[in-house]
Amino acid sequence: MKICRARIFRYELPLSKPLTTKEVTEKKRIGLILELQSDNQLLAYSEIAPLPGLHIENLVQAARQLQEFLPTLMGDSLTEHDIWHISTAGIALFPSVCMGVDLALLQLWSSSKSLPLYQYLNTSTKNSIRLRALIDPIHDEDFVKTAMTYVMQGYQTIKLKIGRMSYGKEILMVKKVREAVGPNIEICLDANRSLELSHAIELGKALSQQKIIYIEEPTQNTEHLLEFYRATQIPIALDETWLEKPLDTLLEIREAVCALVIKPGLVGGIKRLSEVYSWMNNWSIMPIVTSAFESGLGLSLWAQLLSLRDENDMAHGLGTFAWLKEDLLTPPFRAFRGQIDIEQVEKNLSAFRIKESAVCQLVFTCENP
């Protein structure tokens, strides 16, 4: 297979509600779309959308690196081995760029074999994927009503952001949501490393009867994670921590960890992601694939990456499409009764074709001479 053309588009989508990160509040989502075309006229798309306050690279740096890297893909015949290793072959690509390049190449390869990406990655992939609903009380004061709306839509898992209000208000919030949704809806929490150990333990003990299935990154100091778990018995999902440390160092706190939160645009490519999945499988740790508020294009790709792991019974964090006022995909990325159908997701993605518009603007083209 040869790459005969590569194009980069810049998109800008309005958000239906503000998106708050550690550094800024965003009212629109801006990112890049990579389009690759093969010599047999197949097309593939991926999304590269660094989020301020989350990624180490910004959009300008990602775009510049893509423009430097893409010409190196032109002309040479690529084997399946090349596809899996090309973005890590001695080239220090930003994580979002690395994953974007890998997924576009993998789509072209799987299409050349007449397979959807998820089946190429794993022929035993399950058809449906459960999603969790996200509630941020800073921008959603009527969180009980929102939780009930999600439950009526069919969601079975709700994630509440904590560490943003007073101790008493957060305990009350969780208890009110639990009372409203009943005992069978899963509730998980995300503290984003915001709590001091004593505060985290106090909160965990106060919520001991609320059936919290896990909490993401509860403590400011990662050295306190095991102490928190032993004091509260609330399982922990690791997000930033596993990206910052060698995986095997996490075995010291294995008893506390039930899952790793996987944001594909932060991992650093498909080969690295496969290694992480293999490590999790060895230690019976579950992946929770979640977004960095990408468009439906990115969400469709993240959903297919779940096929790298046979088990996908966790509820995953792809419900952030609710923050998008508009989407790149037509029809837009959506869930039905709190789930997505992977076959339908892939069909919508396969039908996607990009056109220049007020939303998407071409910023770079390179072709095989």
Copy the structure tokens of residue 341. 């159908």
Lowest mean pLDDT among 61-70, 269-278, 339-348, 350-359: 350-359
- As a whole number, mean pLDDT of residues 102-118 equals 94
Structure-token match 């949704």, residue found: 181
More confident of the two residues 28 and 355: 28
More confident of the two residues 319 and 17: 319
Which of helix, strand or coil describes residue 89? Answer: coil
Predicted pLDDT at 90: 63
Quick check: 227 pLDDT over 70? yes
What span, in angstroms and rounded, lies between the C-alpha atoms of 352 and 348? 6
Quick check: 27 pLDDT over 70? yes
Quick check: 242 pLDDT over 90? yes
Strands 186-190 vs 212-216: parallel, antiparallel or unpaired: parallel
Fold assignment, 124-350: TIM Barrel (3.20.20)
- As a whole number, mean pLDDT of residues 286-292 equals 94
Quick check: 326 pLDDT over 70? yes
Model confidence pLDDT, tens digit, residues 214-223: 999 999 999 9
Predicted pLDDT at 310: 66
Predicted pLDDT at 85: 85
C-beta of residue 156 within 8 angstroms of C-beta of residue 315: yes
In 207-239, where does DSSP find H-type helix? 225-232
Predicted pLDDT at 308: 83
Instruction: State the Cα angle at 47 between 46 and 49, rounded to 5°.
Output: 165
Band (pLDDT 50/70/90 cuts) for residue 329 is very high
Lowest mean pLDDT among 128-142, 145-159, 181-195, 205-219: 128-142
Band (pLDDT 50/70/90 cuts) for residue 293 is very high
Domain extents in the chain: 3-120+354-367, 124-350
- To the question of domain 3-120+354-367 being in CATH 1.10.3720.10, the answer is no
Band (pLDDT 50/70/90 cuts) for residue 75 is confident
Predicted pLDDT at 339: 94
Lowest mean pLDDT among 8-22, 30-44, 91-105: 8-22
